[in-house]
Amino acid sequence: MLLSFKPFFIKKSPLACITALGLSLSLSGCQQANTDTQKAQQPSQAAAPMPQTQQVSTAGKPVVYQVFTRLYGNTNTTNKPWGTIADNGVGKFSDFTDTALQDIKSLGTTHVWYTGVPHHAVINDYTHIGISDDDPDVVKGRAGSPYAVKDYYNVNPDLATNPANRLAEFEALIERTHANGMQVIIDIVPNHIARNYHSVSAPKGEQDFGANDDTTQIYSKHNNFYYVIGEDFAVPDAPNGYAPLGGDANPLSDGKFTESPAKCTGNGSRLAKPDANDWYETVKINYGVKPDGSHDYPTLPAEYASKTAAEHLAFWQAQAADDIPDSWRKFERIAQYWLAKGVDGFRYDMAEMVPVEFWSYLNSHIKHTNPNAFILAEVYNPNLYRDYIHLGKMDYLYDKVDLYDSLKAIIQGKASTAVIATVQAKVSDIEQHMLHFLENHDEQRINTTDFAGNAFNALPAMVVSTTLSRSPTLLYFGQDVGEQGAQMAGFGQPTRTSIFDYVGVPAHQRWMNNGKFDGGQSTQDEKALRAYYQRLLSLSHNAPALTGDYAELDTLQRQQHTQGYDDQVFAFSRYNVEQQLIIASNFSQTEPKAFTLTLPKTLIEQWQVVENVTLMDLLAQQPYEHDLILDNNDHASVQMQLQPLQSVVLELTQKH
């Protein structure tokens, strides 16, 4: 969408914050770590299971490192608004060297989500290799939206050293990622595709979306698109003086785009001339949902919520061939294409805008091919979570609307930490499926006045987000060094690193240090922050208790009016037979907190604690100054002294 521009300023993170958190500036840990086509009329048959040649340890919680691929390796610091590749540079697949990948792995990473890989519309001339030019009137930014895919059977030519060899270069990156002990995730965007979709790389016999559509009908089950009959598409009116490419001349930039009849727009707009805030650069995919909201595909029985992916696959294989909409088959073949190339999983954009039955169909086919495939979906409606997990066979959904939004409000002083226990209780039956994050490409950078003020103010929230449940943690590149996203890149606005234009990412570039990935140009704050993230996320993946049970300790402290325990403090436990942890965080940016944390008798009994226990702070990597003390009623307590913004992860280390 078109976004308004507004100036802002960023406070420098105070070096004093490093001392308060007890962060080490040593980079020794970092340096050590651097060391055949289906016919539409035939029933879809799942491919044979793939041999698994590279495995990532599944013993701990997954850590997903999201990297915006075109920005990651870019060393150009010009950052000219609306700049071209020649002006501002662009990162390449080849920038992900073994050194770079080991640096990513040092953050506990198990899966790398390479964002923006499928070939989407871009404003660059690749006609010499058979790629048509894209019209700036239906492209957002100069580099284009990664969610307006133009060719699902190839990759973004901007990312290749030799664009004609782009697919082979990405295949080599898949191999390098595997060789460095991590798995590969890419985006699939089933809800919409680019207005000018055309594949030059599709397998023989595979036809483009819309190639066989009956364009005299608003809707037909096997049409890939919805049509505005009798009207041609018109480019939206531009608000606030907006001009494509910032007003730079381009032969195709004339306020027109030929499309007759007009197709319905990606966000569901049925207007031949969508609004500037609609997803006008994309067209909506038809999944057999009629314009009145009724559907034209088999209904998945409710009891399939408790059935396996194999049982879901058998259900779909038993359906008549004509009952499966053509769009379903097209996307199933796309997924199989990438699985065959070694991709290990997918992130689905705006999954809730696509029927649950389609996800059952697609994901059961994927899981047949690769039972360990990592499947993550963007769903924002909590009322739909369980349907998309149990009926849609998703592995993970974003925990955005509840946990992320709550943590952001706490950081900003707009909510009590008590809300954490409340929102976690809402998903207690599906907590292992709710992926946690504090940044991604859609959200504001932490290190802005609109979010946390500085990167350190969010560390207690990051500890809670990372350790609260059995779910994976997602880290967005640059988050670990306090990237601000302050550049006026072109389309869009600051506080989010641009996904539409060519731009450098300054804090990340300083850490990258021209490919050395040693923090050689980083500030002391950035180095300290990076070391903290390394410890926290490595702990997240490696601590056995974090795959175990959760005990909320917040309510008890409030019920007994624990002195010093207030709306800026949160405590809980994570435990299993191997390890018992007490985790407490002080969200206050200025005030230390001192209180006696009480642990209930039921928890102590499960831990089988019979005498006093010493504690090790796994974040500080040193013994904790206070022991866990048993009282006469078999409750336990521990003295907590938390500095501003400090968190402790205390492990029971020795039973006397």
Provide the 8-state DSSP code for 39.
P
Q: Any idea what the Cα angle at residue 358 is, between residues 353 and 363, rounded to 5°?
A: 110
Residue 603: C-alpha distances to residues 35, 273, 469, 540 (Å): 42, 61, 17, 22
Tens-digit pLDDT profile for residues 623-652 = 999 999 998 777 899 999 999 999 999 999
Band of pLDDT at residue 487, cut at 50, 70 and 90: very high
* Intra-chain end-to-end CA distance of the chain, in Å: 61
Place of tokens 């879901």: 312
Contact 279, 146 (CB under 8 A): no
- Given a cut of 90, whether residue 134 has pLDDT beyond it is yes
Strands (E), 94-191: 111-115, 118-120, 149-155, 183-188
- pLDDT band, residue 59 (cuts 50/70/90): low
Peptide bond into 544 cis (omega under 30): no
pLDDT mean across residues, the chain: 92
Residue 173 tokens, joined: 């990156």
Give the percent of the chain with pLDDT over 70: 91
Is the pLDDT reported for residue 304 higher than 90?
yes
- Read out DSSP for 301-351? PGGGGGS-HHHHHHHHHTS-GGGS-HHHHHHHHHHHHHHHTT--EEEETTG
Identify the pLDDT of residue 373: 98
Radius of gyration of the chain (CA): 26
3-state secondary structure of 495: coil
Q: What is the C-alpha separation between 14 and 101, in angstroms, rounded? A: 30
Global pTM exceeds 0.75: yes
- Is the per-residue pLDDT at 17 higher than 80? no
Per-residue pLDDT of 241-298, as tens digits, reads: 899 999 999 999 999 999 999 999 999 999 999 999 999 999 999 999 999 999 999 9
Strand partners, 225: 285
Region 597-626 average pLDDT: 94
Of 383, 309, 394, 315, the closest CA to residue 348 belongs to 394
Mean pLDDT of 150-159: 98
How much is the pLDDT for 119?
Answer: 98
Q: What pLDDT score was predicted for residue 124?
A: 96
- Render pLDDT for 358-400 as a digit per residue (tens, 0 to 9): 999 999 999 999 999 999 999 999 999 999 999 999 999 999 9
- Dist CA 210 CA 546 (whole Å): 47
- How far does Cα 465 stand from its chain's mean position? 14
Closest of 171, 240, 176 to residue 4, by C-alpha:
240
Res 64 pLDDT > 50: yes
Q: What are the tens digits of pLDDT across the range 313-372?
A: 999 999 999 999 999 999 999 999 999 999 999 999 999 999 999 999 999 999 999 999
Helix (H) or strand (E) holding 640: strand 636-642
Taking the CB of residue 26, how many other CB atoms lie within 10 A of it? 11
pLDDT over 60 at 34, yes or no? no
Please classify residue 475 by burial: count the beta carbons closer than 10 Å to its beta carbon, then call 0-12 exposed, 13-18 middle and 19+ buried.
Answer: buried
- Asked whether residue 574 carries a pLDDT value surpassing 90, the answer given is yes
Digit-coded pLDDT (tens) for 496-554: 999 999 999 999 999 999 999 999 999 999 999 999 999 999 999 999 999 999 999 99
% of residues, the chain, pLDDT over 90: 88
pLDDT digits (tens, 9 = 90+) for 44-58: 444 444 434 345 555
- How do 473-476 and 63-68 pair as beta strands? parallel
Nearest Cα residue to 91 out of 69, 113, 112? 69
Six-digit token pair at 607? 């831990």
